[in-house]
């Protein structure tokens, strides 16, 4: 059998990643599946970072003049290359980020989907024509390319987050500089290699349209602070957003912040409980609780609590946890030891606060961190329930009054995703009106958004929106143009200024 390190090398070769980039660098790439080292990755030095910003600036100056539908053609080719590389890239996502194969394939599919979306968009970057108050004038808004777009991404969506940003940024006429998570450099190198194949097929794209900066926080900070970068789309913890937001504001740069979540689900008395069970199980245990949209808080109505929670506990006790390369596993590893320690600290705080913990124990030993997902019955929304612990912990609470539950639901700092399971139309609508999150669902879980909608959240989630709907506008600048085709000069608001 081929070892995981050897398989990683084969995948990187098959995906066309230059060996120089991953065989002899100072950054150790580890696989959470076993904890072993799988590559030694080259890191961008400060001078490389500076050169990347220059190259991206030059690329933007040329790319902005390429007609948008032609820019769409590059993204279409990228989508084709992704289709061809889907299995290998997904396998690498499993090895490097620990996702089960179907979720890893889903992540690559999301990249393909956003490419399709962006290709269509490349012919629809519409502005408005606006009625003017002055005779023989025309007023319109026109959308122009913005500049160099910086992308900072988190480990748990190592490739899709970049694609959400890059596909839109590119059709909008921008160049892109990407600082991926230091925990997932290999999938980033592979994505860049796939993109470069599309560029080669396209033929006349300016050099340096997409730049990759492998590095840690310092590389991210360079992206945040550099005046050549017009917009930074930063995905990661609220802690990261708190550091990044004021620095971007200080130089009046644009920001898209996609930060942490503490997502709640309400299961109402009329819920289809089979549906709710599956929705909560996937939302809370999927990706080993390491999604920004992971269900972390569950409010179950008193009248159904005992039966529903008993079934949920049984699902928690029986779900297959283990190496995702093995068949039928649904919950893979935590990303690293720090994630395991944070999970144990949260469980201990929950016990101290009167919670009753089911699961959460480590499975196996060595350098990989597998845990049984934890379901914690809490006496109320207290202590660690207010924190996003990036691990599979579901805090379960009772409620008897929907209005009170809605207040509890909104009483956490982030505002990303939320859901209610109910067959009562009034309850569903009341929930949709009340939830203060960027995503609110009825009869489906908090995780697993489609690319067609705008993705993001309110409050400490950062307020950014990515992906579908009109998110593209953030990657462009809007100019309001007024044209006077009369031979007089009427001033707006009837102002008179005769000279």
Q: Is 181 in the site for ligand NAD (CB under 6 A)?
A: yes
Taking CB under 6 A as the criterion, the residue among 60, 369, 390, 399 binding ligand NAD is 390
Q: How many chain residues are in contact with ligand NAD, going by CB under 6 A?
A: 29
| Nearest CB to ligand NAD, comparing residues 9 and 462 | 462
Q: Which structure tokens are listed for 334?
A: 């935590």
Task: Establish whether 141 is a catalytic residue.
Answer: no
Minimal distance, residue 215 CB to ligand NAD, in Å: 8
Supply the angle between the helices 68-97 and 101-121 in degrees, to the nearest 10: 170
Pair of tokens at residue 428: 């569903």
Contact region for ligand NAD (CB under 6 A) — 68-76, 90-98, 113-121, 150-158? Answer: 150-158
Touching ligand NAD, residues 433-472 (CB under 6 A): 461
Order of all β-strands in the sheet with 295-301: 356-358, 374-377, 393-399, 295-301, 263-267, 417-421, 439-442
DSSP, res 340: H
Residues within window 161-180 making contact with ligand NAD, judged by CB under 6 A: 179
Is 258 one of the annotated active-site residues of the chain? Answer: yes
- Nearest CA to 91 out of 40, 174, 50, 33 is that of 33
Q: How far is the CB of 238 from ligand NAD (least distance, A)?
A: 6
Q: Phi and psi of 405, rounded to 5°? A: -65, -35
Catalytic-labelled residue, pool 182, 292, 377, 466: 292
The two beta strands, 393-399 and 374-377, are: parallel
Contacts for 441 with CB less than 8 Å, ≥ 6 apart: 417, 418, 419, 420
Rounded Cα distance between 309 and 301, Å, is 10
- Residue 265 in contact with residue 418, Cβ under 8 Å? yes
Nearer to ligand NAD, 116 or 218 (CB): 218
Contact 287, 329 (CB under 8 A): no
Shortest Å, Cβ 443 to ligand NAD: 23
114 lies in the site for ligand NAD, by CB under 6 A: no
Q: Which is nearer to ligand NAD, 100 or 277 (CB)?
A: 100
Residue nearest to ligand NAD (CB): 220
- Rounded CA separation 415/262 (Å): 7
Q: Per the structure block, which two tokens stand in for 362?
A: 């480590």
Q: Which is nearer to ligand NAD, 80 or 336 (CB)?
A: 336
75, 104, 148, 154: which one binds ligand NAD (CB under 6 A): 154
**Closest distance to ligand NAD from the beta carbon of 302 (Å):** 30
- List the catalytic residue out of 258, 387, 460, 466: 258
Select from 154-162, 271-279, 369-377, 397-405 the region that touches ligand NAD (CB under 6 A). Answer: 154-162
Of residues 223-282, those binding ligand NAD (CB under 6 A): 224, 235-237, 240, 243-244, 258-261
Question: 319-338 mask for ligand NAD (x: CB under 6 A)?
Answer: --------------------
Whose Cβ is closer to ligand NAD: residue 189's or residue 309's?
189
Nearer to ligand NAD, 220 or 355 (CB): 220
CB of 29 to ligand NAD, least distance (A): 14
Minimum distance from residue 334 beta carbon to ligand NAD (Å):
11
- Element (DSSP H or E) covering residue 2: none
User: In sequence order, what E strands does 9-78 have?
Assistant: 27-30, 37-41
Q: Residue 376, CB half-sphere, CA atoms under 13 Å: how many? A: 33
Which segments of 104-245 are extended strands (E)?
129-130, 137-145, 148-152, 175-179, 210-212, 229-235
**Which residue's CB is nearer to ligand NAD, number 235 or number 381?**
235
Rg of the Cα trace of the chain?
Answer: 24
- The DSSP code for 331 is B
For helices 160-171 and 101-121, give the axis angle rounded to 10 degrees: 10
Per DSSP, the three-state class of 19 is coil
The residues annotated as belonging to the active site are: 258, 292
Site for ligand NAD, rule CB under 6 A? 152-157, 179, 181-182, 216-217, 220-221, 224, 235-237, 240, 243-244, 258-261, 292, 388, 390, 416, 461
């Amino acid at each position: 059998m081929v070892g995981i390190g050897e398989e990683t090398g084969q995948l990187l070769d098959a995906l066309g990643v230059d060996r120089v980039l991953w065989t002899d660098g100072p950054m150790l790439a580890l696989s959470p599946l076993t904890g072993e080292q799988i590559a030694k990755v080259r890191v961008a030095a400060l001078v490389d970072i500076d050169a990347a910003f220059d190259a991206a600036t030059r690329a933007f100056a040329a790319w902005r003049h390429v007609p948008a539908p032609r820019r769409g053609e590059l993204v279409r080719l990228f989508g084709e290359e992704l289709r061809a590389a889907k299995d290998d890239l997904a396998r690498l996502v499993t090895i490097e980020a620990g996702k089960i194969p179907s979720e890893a394939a889903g992540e690559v599919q999301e990249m393909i989907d956003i490419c399709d979306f962006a290709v269509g968009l490349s012919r629809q970057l519409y502005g408005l024509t606006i009625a003017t108050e002055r005779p023989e004038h025309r007023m319109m808004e026109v959308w122009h390319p913005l500049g160099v777009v910086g992308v900072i991404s988190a480990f748990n969506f190592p490739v899709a987050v970049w694609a959400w940003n890059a596909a839109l940024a590119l059709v909008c006429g921008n160049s892109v500089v990407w600082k991926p998570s230091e925990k997932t450099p290999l999938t980033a190198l592979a994505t860049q290699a796939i993109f470069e194949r599309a560029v080669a097929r396209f033929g006349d794209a300016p050099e340096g349209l997409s730049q990759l900066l492998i590095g840690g926080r310092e590389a991210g900070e360079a992206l945040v602070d550099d005046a050549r970068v017009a917009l930074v789309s930063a995905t990661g913890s609220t802690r990261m957003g708190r550091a990044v937001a004021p620095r971007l504001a200080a130089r009046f740069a644009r920001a898209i912040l996609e930060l942490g979540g503490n997502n709640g689900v309400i299961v109402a008395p009329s819920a289809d409980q089979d549906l709710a069970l599956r929705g909560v199980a996937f939302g809370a245990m999927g990706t080993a609780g390491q999604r920004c949209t992971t269900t972390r808080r569950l409010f179950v109505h008193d009248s159904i609590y005992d039966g529903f929670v008993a079934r949920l506990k049984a699902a928690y006790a029986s779900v297959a946890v283990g190496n995702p390369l093995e068949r039928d596993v649904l919950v893979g590893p935590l990303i690293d030891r720090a994630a395991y320690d944070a999970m144990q600290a949260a469980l201990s705080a929950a016990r101290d606060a009167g919670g009753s913990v089911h699961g959460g124990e480590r499975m196996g030993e060595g350098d990989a961190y597998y845990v049984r997902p934890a379901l914690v019955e809490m006496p109320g929304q207290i202590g660690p329930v207010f924190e996003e612990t990036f691990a599979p912990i579901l805090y379960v609470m009772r409620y008897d009054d929907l209005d009170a539950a809605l207040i509890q639901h909104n009483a956490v700092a982030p505002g990303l995703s939320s859901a209610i399971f109910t067959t009562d139309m009034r309850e569903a609508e009341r929930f949709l009106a009340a939830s203060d999150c960027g995503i609110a669902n009825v009869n489906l879980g908090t995780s697993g958004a489609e690319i067609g909608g705008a993705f993001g959240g309110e409050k400490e989630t950062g307020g950014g929106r990515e992906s579908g709907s009109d998110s593209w506008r953030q990657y462009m600048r809007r100019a309001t143009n007024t044209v006077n085709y009369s031979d007089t000069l009427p001033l707006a608001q009837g102002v008179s200024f005769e000279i």
